[in-house]
Structure 1
């Protein structure tokens, strides 16, 4: 693939003479990036090199143990290995591997976290997905034969139904009278063919090595195209499981709000204030710091040092637990602070009580964030989903049990949340212990208390950027409290509804970012542009769907959360603004995902911060207080801010040179390869002694 040249690059932008972006005077393509956006590969190599050096004394013993285990596995599964051997590919060859790192997020607010610039190392599961993605594109372009089942499922080509089917559903990028593969033979092609059936003229699918070779040749010849049907199918396939996972994760919060809403308006206002405070002071920083594991764990797993995956997760967990000590102290004595922020003393008192109970769930929050990265680095993305499939329903049951059955009332809702937060990582541990994923766990180690400096340096930028984005929500929550308890309670309902609806476009943005990045990395800039167009249309469709639901059910939805007529009236009025916001919320999320895919996440980050602090916040506060629009004014500002950021990002993407992005992606990959080779030469003894570990 290294020899595959990208399409001709026009030095000043697009072939029609336009520059990369009409905003280039302000946001040029070569925008200097601050340290928080610089490639973190040197830090990653430093962390892993130190850990490898510390583990080198144990490498012989670990290697011998692992070889024995692999030998036993080979004896018991020899047939299976012989079947899959032909599909083995090196991780560096996986150009279209799916890396849904964003699945680790899940708060679901109207912001897209900034991710690092490092390419995660594909694990075996992702390598197989990369192979299948190459097969799909080669089949769509008639470079290899279609599968027999797929071929036989098509209607007859000459019929009206057949033409309609191909126009709407067919993923083929071209429609040849004579397929390219008709006169091509592979190593697995039989010498004699039988014409007894209609399907036997189809050639067998070539083995993995030949697929990869033909894919490289097709890319070099610019013969790989894609269709909007293929990209739509891929985005649905990638985003659907993420949507289910995100909704399951956020359902834990929904269950708490639903339960508290039945207790009264003050309780509903208090849970909003407490939840937002907990998010800003704990949950968001924890998620921001844990993002560095996306790179560390995947690099450790991909380089063959599987035991370092568990070590990195341990180190981050201990780091987060220590960080939570001052946060717990803040929560325990939070009443005076909350009392100064909201006029209602009763609301502040209940919110402080909720926070004090949530201290019990802090260890589980940190462990679950590290645990998610631990399993995801191994390609076990379904492990989190299975865990939530058990934990989410149990959280609803616990809310009913503690609040109504035991009569603990408001404290019972906080207790149910804390128990669930500790239950989720325990379920994940059980999955790893008894199902899969234990290969990367060597037990607790004292080494987890060393080598913290580089990890903190790697983790802080992600935390700062995410914290800066989410802090706007806390400001708006405090502002809502100034209008009274009813408005604060209504704000709780509105945030829950809009956060739930955001769990559809956000996974779509993650899938789009992954697909665009993979296609750009494979020098398929035209295909990446097609994916972006499909994703934008999908985002608008999702936003329109959410708008319709919110506007149509504007009086039904608030009744699900509360029986208070005053709160229902406020929500049903303000939710119309939130309904309009859904369009821009979806477009902003997906456009930012596209920017991440083409390596322009710095521009998206700056656009987000600009729109939140210089557009959304001033408009929200001025319309809410100066014009007297109160809660409606707060959401008008957020809507305008999202409209601005989506317009800026889409305008930038429309005027960008995608061929240039592909060339820069190639340069980044080559730079990483050179740096990795140089690092290996500098530390040959350490790396060689630990290769088998």
Structure 2
């Protein structure tokens, strides 16, 4: 699966195949179809991979919902808050590879990809050690932020059992960005799909059949994540990834300062997005009698997370397309790819919104046996539907930013829209105006909407030729560390 096989690139120097009878719209439609094909070649397997990996935690939460309201709340809070925090940090830190590996691959600097991945391992493993105290002292931390004591205690106990997952994250995300930047997304899809099947079987076996409860949930979830890591790593070590992997090297410890800076910028950008919806669960825990609202909001976050995996797949695809094309100096194709993926993902988001609205009286019962929780979930499903629509485009725009290397800029946008505008608005609506969870969520949706509009404006006014020149400079600067 070399570069020509996995990511056929259009040569911008070739004139479009026009005839006198073809209209400009037909030419545009043809080019749209060609670029859409390239995107789906990446996005299809990436969506399946994202859904499969997200479903590991979601299935665990679903099975635990059969154990009782407190068990469901414990897993929901741990998944959304503790693991959600770690997931956001690790994914964000690892996303630096999307910029560096993608642009290096587009420029033909294949060998650097393996070095970049090893540097990212060093940084992410160190980061995991820094995050570890949050897992250890989760109960007092959750209580400090206002979570109900029974939920804090149960979620904290589950967090201790989930520590192995934290270190699986640190190994997994650099591997995935390494493979993704080369267009090797099918292997990730096959591995993730296979592990998901095993996870479903063993979750039922350990959680319900053997009645191991949360202990069985932790064993199954940790094992599944490590199976993904080991299988992907074996693929890289055996195939050498068409020359992108040349073995372990001390170069992994060189130039770490600059690498850490880009990794931190990526982490801040993505964490601000991940934590934004995570905060929704925490704030909901401050409401009077929070158990039912927390369970309801967690179910909605579960649905939102599944639909968001489609956008995450397009996020991966557009990040690869933009970084590869900018690295190769093809500014026009990078810009056109952004247009195609934005239109495609928005249409899919609208379909998902309609499905959520049509099934709002049905899907809550798939996650809980409590009628009170199901009724509360149905009541807030309209806000879930609008969130699904907005989050069909927002992650895609973030993928453009990662592919182009704009992480620092987008981090500032996220701070302003999410935490200066959206979050305070949610607090006012939810508590001051007594709108409860609907008000909290409504204010936060306003922040997402504003952030999306600003990113659209940034992309619209971008000088893509200048971005291609900066990508060339970045590849030369980072590529100079390789020695034969």
Q: Same fold (TM over 0.5)?
A: yes
Where in structure 2 are the equivalents of 1:149-228 lying within 5 Å? 173=27, 227-228=31-32
User: Match for residue 377 of structure 2?
Assistant: 571
Q: Name the residue aligned to 1:418.
A: 222
Q: Is it true that 1:340 corresponds to 2:217 in the alignment?
A: no
Aligned residues of 1:288 and 1:462 also touching (Cα < 8 A): yes
Counterpart of 1:502? 308
Corresponding residue of 2:56: 252
CA–CA separation in structure 2 for the residues paired with 1:360 and 1:131: 39
Mapped to 1, the partners of 2:241 and 2:35 lie a distance apart of 31
CA contact (8 A) 1:362 1:421 kept: no
Counterpart Cα distance in 2 of 1:591 and 1:581 = 15
Task: Give the drift of 1:479.
Answer: 0.8
Show the 5 A alignment for 1:350-365. 350-365=154-169
- Residue 649 in structure 1 maps to residue 446 in structure 2: no
CA deviation string 1:603-636 (max 9, x = no partner): 5443333211122101111111112221111221
* Structure 2 SS opposite 1:555: coil
Q: Which of the numbers 425, 445, 467 marks the counterpart of 1:639?
A: 445
2:198 to 365, 371, 394: 394
TM-score of the superposed pair, with normalisation by structure 2: 0.84
| Displacement after TM superposition at 1:554 (Å) | 0.3
SS in 2 for 1:173: helix
Specify whether residues 134 and 226 from structure 1 end up closer, same or farther in structure 2 by C-alpha distance, changes over 3 A only: farther
Paired residues in the alignment total: 479
User: Aligned in 2, Cα 1:553/1:610: closer, same or farther, shift over 3 Å?
Assistant: same
User: Corresponding residue for 2:433?
Assistant: 627
- Quote how far apart the aligned CAs of 1:492 are: 1.2
CA distance 1:304–1:341, change in 2 (3 Å) = closer
CA distance in 2, matches of 1:650, 1:493: 30
Cα 1:172/1:351, change in 2 over 3 Å: same
Indicate if the aligned counterparts of 1:270 and 1:489 stay in contact, CA closer than 8 A.
Answer: no
Deviations 1:568-627 (A, max 9, x none): 011101011111222322233344455667776665443333211122101111111112
**Could you tell me whether the CA contact under 8 Å between 1:272 and 1:491 is conserved in 2?**
no
Structure 1 residues 447-466: aligned runs within 5 Å: 452-466=256-270
8 Å Cα contact 2:83/2:166 also seen in 1: no
Structure 2's unaligned 5+ residue stretches are none
CA deviation after TM superposition for structure 1 residue 548, in Å: 0.6
Alpha-carbon deviation of 1:562?
0.8
Q: Matches of 2:88 and 2:135 in 1, distance apart?
A: 15
SS of 2:435's equivalent in the other structure is coil
User: Does 2:330 match 1:476?
Assistant: no
Q: Could you tell me which residue of structure 1 aligns to residue 354 of structure 2? A: 548
The offset of 1:357, in angstroms, is 0.4
Output the TM-score relative to the length of structure 1: 0.61
For residue 373 of structure 1, what is the aligned residue in structure 2?
A: 177
Residue 3 (structure 2) aligned to one of 115, 126, 129: 126
**How far apart in 1 are the matches of 2:415 and 2:227?**
35
Query: Shift of residue 508 of structure 1?
Result: 2.8
Q: CA deviation at 1:413?
A: 1.1
Alignment equivalent of 2:17, drawn from 114, 119, 141:
141
Residue in 2 that maps onto 1:61: none
- Is the contact between residue 353 and residue 411 of structure 1 (CA under 8 Å) also seen in structure 2? no
Tell me what 1:289 maps to: 93
Quick one: distance in 2 between partners of 1:452 and 1:387?
31
Q: CA RMSD in A?
A: 3.7
**Match in the other structure for 2:121:** 317
1:184 corresponds to which residue?
Answer: none
Structure 1 residues 263 and 366: alpha-carbon distance in aligned structure 2, compared to 1, 3 A threshold: same
